[in-house]
């Protein structure tokens, strides 16, 4: 665990590089092979890459990778574009989520409020999950209204640039992968569903919000994403920590009076049982 923390900046860039390599090199190569087995492997490796990308996007809401700011911003925008998200809007929504967790002003409150029943969890998972792109449905209307006219105009300009980045990123994927792009896109939608299941488990307490840490598993690290999510309760208690620092600080919770603090055995267990 100390190794992760000691080399976190290098490992973060390695993480980013591996995700980009899979999506821009391995996925096109498997697409060109075109056999049934190759397309199956394409779906598997693309799903893992998208799940890992979701973890990186989450971290970008708090920290850019170590190095020049322009480089970190460009990487964050590119990875958000590949994931079908606008960096500017996603970053604002996630920071509001941290600022107002557990209140009516939390933009993600619809997510954990939908998890009180098994039927609600399934509806949220399969109807909202594939479409919500990880950070939606969110309500940032109040925050936008509070912005000055100048800041609001700058925000909207950045959002338009983000939409262009999404089109360009998926245009590149389409050119590289050809017919295999449909498989890559299906993997993205599936990864969003897995992310949605994990998000229920890391926030939900039968429809109420809580600080939740989840027991780590090797498969979970691949399919439900990075350490920043498995120690999500600790992340909410101290969002300044790098996601690769979190395993070293997972021995116990810091006291927090406003919300319950829970340990959970797994994402799938919560989906099926709510515990």
> To the nearest whole number, what is the mean pLDDT of the chain?
85
The pLDDT value recorded for residue 138 is 58
27-36, 37-46, 121-130: which has the minimum mean pLDDT? 121-130
Q: Where are the domains of the chain?
A: 2-273
What are the beta bridge partners of residue 213?
A: 263
The pLDDT value recorded for residue 89 is 86
Is residue 48 scored above 90 in pLDDT?
yes
How confident is the model over 140-161, as pLDDT tens digits? 777 777 888 888 889 899 999 9
Alpha-helical regions (H) of the chain: 2-6, 8-21, 27-33, 36-60, 69-82, 87-99, 109-113, 118-123, 129-132, 141-146, 149-177, 181-203, 218-223, 227-230, 232-237, 267-273
22 φ, ψ (degrees, to nearest 5): -65, -45
Rounded distance between C-alpha atoms, residue 272 and residue 121, angstroms: 8
Task: Note the pTM of the prediction, 2 decimals.
Answer: 0.88
Is residue 131 scored above 70 in pLDDT?
no
Nearest to 108, CA basis, from 261, 232, 242: 232
Is residue 137 scored above 70 in pLDDT?
no
The pLDDT value recorded for residue 205 is 81
Is residue 172 scored above 60 in pLDDT?
yes
Mean pLDDT score, 194-211: 82
The pLDDT value recorded for residue 20 is 96
| Of 23 and 248, more confident | 23
Is residue 108 scored above 80 in pLDDT?
no
Q: Please confirm whether the linkage preceding 36 is cis (ω < 30° from 0).
A: no
Is residue 135 scored above 50 in pLDDT?
no
At residue 128 the predicted structure's pLDDT band, cuts being 50, 70 and 90, is: low
77-to-4, 55, 259, 269 alpha-carbon distances in Å: 25, 14, 33, 34
Determine what percent of the chain is predicted with pLDDT higher than 70. Answer: 92
82-to-45, 58, 113, 117, 233 alpha-carbon distances in Å: 15, 14, 29, 33, 27
Query: DSSP letter string over 221-267?
Result: HHHS--HHHHTHHHHHH-TTS-TTTGGGG-SSPPP-SSS-EEEES-H
Rounded distance between C-alpha atoms, residue 95 and residue 100, angstroms: 9
The pLDDT value recorded for residue 250 is 67
How confident is the model over 206-238, as pLDDT tens digits? 778 888 888 888 888 888 877 778 888 888 888
Q: Are 239 and 59 spatial neighbours (Cβ–Cβ below 8 Å)?
A: no
């Amino acid at each position: 665990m100390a190794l992760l923390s000691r080399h976190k900046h290098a490992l973060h860039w390695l993480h980013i590089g591996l995700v980009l390599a899979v999506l821009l090199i391995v996925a096109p190569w498997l697409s060109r092979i075109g056999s049934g087995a190759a397309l199956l492997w394409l779906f598997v490796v693309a799903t893992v890459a998208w799940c890992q990308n979701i973890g990186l996007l989450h971290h970008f809401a708090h920290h850019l990778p170590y190095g020049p700011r322009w480089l970190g911003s460009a990487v964050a925008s590119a990875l958000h574009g590949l994931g079908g998200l606008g960096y500017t809007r996603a970053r604002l929504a996630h920071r509001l989520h941290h600022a107002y967790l557990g209140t009516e002003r939390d933009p993600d409150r619809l997510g954990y409020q939908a998890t009180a029943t098994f039927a609600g969890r399934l509806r949220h998972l399969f109807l909202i999950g594939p479409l919500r792109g990880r950070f939606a449905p969110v309500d940032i209307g109040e925050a936008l209204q509070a912005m000055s006219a100048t800041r609001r105009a700058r925000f909207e300009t950045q959002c338009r640039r983000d939409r262009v980045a999404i089109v360009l990123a998926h245009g590149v994927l389409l050119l590289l992968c050809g017919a295999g792009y449909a498989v890559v896109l299906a993997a993205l939608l599936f990864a969003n569903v897995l992310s949605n299941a994990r998000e229920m488990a890391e926030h939900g307490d039968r429809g109420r919000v809580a600080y939740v840490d989840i027991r780590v598993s090797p498969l979970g690290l691949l399919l439900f994403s990075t350490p920043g999510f498995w120690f999500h309760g600790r992340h909410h208690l101290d969002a300044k920590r790098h996601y690769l620092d979190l395993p070293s600080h997972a021995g116990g919770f810091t006291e927090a009076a406003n919300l319950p603090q829970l340990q959970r055995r797994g994402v799938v267990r919560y989906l099926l049982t709510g515990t």
